[in-house]
Chains A and B, each alone.
Chain A
């Protein structure tokens, strides 16, 4: 299959990429690993007139420890590179999720920036980053801004990212106190994407009397984009009981399709949230 013809640009630096993006032709698309974009271009669901290939920009790759103990992950860092990085093993849910995304070849090409920018309603990683309170660092020729991931997604394949903006980095806050996390998903067997996936991060301050004082739950495959299940978070904080999972779809219009109708998907996500909570509780330490 062949995509429509397009104009191809390969900037040598982030600044050059931003200058190209500032030309703000609506048909322009950034190309990172290409593992979401190229398949839809080949089937002609997407027909960008120009691709700006950032794939060679080393300055957007790599994982660094920040001064406050958090992690900065370059937008072009692939799933494989993340998986091989010991710094991510403290985030148990990343160790859960990364080996399940696609396959080896997909993980060798797909990037964290692409996963966040694409906003696939069933992608695995965005739910985990939501639960980790990740921030998205973006730059444009006009300047830069840092956006909490909780206010980044706007709907299916839609985010607050402006056409001239590039994601340069994803930031994860430091894991502090007693802390446990897990990701559990029911995969669509053919595609491997999540029919219903739940990412859980829970924590308690040391000496806080055993009660959890932090709970963050990211959900994918269920709504029109990944979301935080705040009703579960609140219920779990007061009860400490994984049965809080019953609130997983409160206030959400649950997706319904040939793979899982609304009722089934609602049941599925409740089970995944409960399992993820139970696994995270086991791991607290």
Chain B
């Protein structure tokens, strides 16, 4: 039997009837057309599906949509305010923190979770925070550099020198 689920997704109230076995990531992608959240492993290993649920990062392939009933969800689409890249997105661009880009939305959501808790993380803290996000391309070096750069930008409140905006 379908369950009625109400969510606030990227600031917008959404309601949907879902079969209980459907995953949060399926509802985000298929029902709400928010395809920025990716699915890679579908077994809770890779972090490509990471979104924020009530302010905490979660792997949305391992959360049932019904478990998220009443929650506030932020996806990668919710980060860029007014069409302007979020400082973490800008830093990934600037520091070449992506290659194929498949892991990037999840990586950025994990970075956002970290920087909300630890505004000025060490490289070790950054690596610990993205332990649940796998990247098959970059070797992580530039991802770490991008998160470090984002921390500085977010601190000083100024955009990075590249002047890149959305």
Contacts and interface: CB of A to CB of B under 8 A. Distances in A.
A8 B113 contact: no
A104 B43 contact: no
B72 interface: no
A6 B21 contact: yes
Given A42-B43, A104-B110, A31 B67 contact: yes
Contacts of A5: 19-21
Contacts of A56: 70
The 5 A-B residue pairs whose C-beta atoms are closest, nearest first, are A103-B132, A8-B20, A108-B56, A103-B131, A105-B59
Contact of B67 (A3, A7, A55): A55
Interface residues of A, number: 30
Contacts of A38: 44, 62-64
A34 B62 contact: yes
A80 B47 CA distance: 17
A103 B63 CA distance: 15
Given A38-B64, A105-B58, A108-B57, 9 more contacts: A1-B43, A3-B21, A42-B43, A43-B43, A103-B133, A105-B50, A105-B110, A106-B59, A109-B63
Interface residues of B, number: 30
B62 A109 contact: yes
Interface string A100-129: 001111101100000000000000000000
Interface string B18-47: 011110000000000000000000111001
Contacts of A35: 44, 62
A118 to B, nearest CB: 14
B66 interface: yes
Looking at A5, A34, A41, A104, which has the most chain B CB atoms within 10 Å of its CB? A104
Contacts of A95: none
Contacts of B21: 2-6, 41
Contacts of B66: 8, 10, 53
Contacts of A42: 42-43
B129 interface: yes
B20 to A, nearest CB: 4
| Max count, chain A CB within 10 A of own CB: residue among B21, B42, B43, B57 | B21
B3 interface: yes
Interface string A134-147: 00000000000000
Contact of A34 (B3, B19, B50, B67): B67
Nearest to A99: B128
Contacts of A53: 66-67
B145 to A, nearest CB: 20
B42 A1 contact: yes
A285 interface: no
Interface string B111-135: 0011000000000000011011100
A51 B58 contact: no
7 contacts: A3-B21, A34-B63, A39-B44, A51-B20, A103-B131, A103-B133, A106-B59
Interface in B42-96: 42-44, 47, 50, 56-59, 62-64, 66-67, 69-70
Nearest to A102: B132
Interface in A60-103: 80, 99, 102-103
Contacts of A51: 20
Contact of B44 (A6, A7, A106): A106
Contacts of B42: 1, 42
Residue from B22, B58, B64 having most chain A Cβ neighbours under 10 A: B64
Contacts of B113: 104
A104 B1 CA distance: 33
Contacts of B110: 104-105
Nearest to B110: A104
A103 B113 CA distance: 13
Nearest to A190: B45
Nearest to B43: A39
A105 B20 contact: no
A39 B129 CA distance: 22
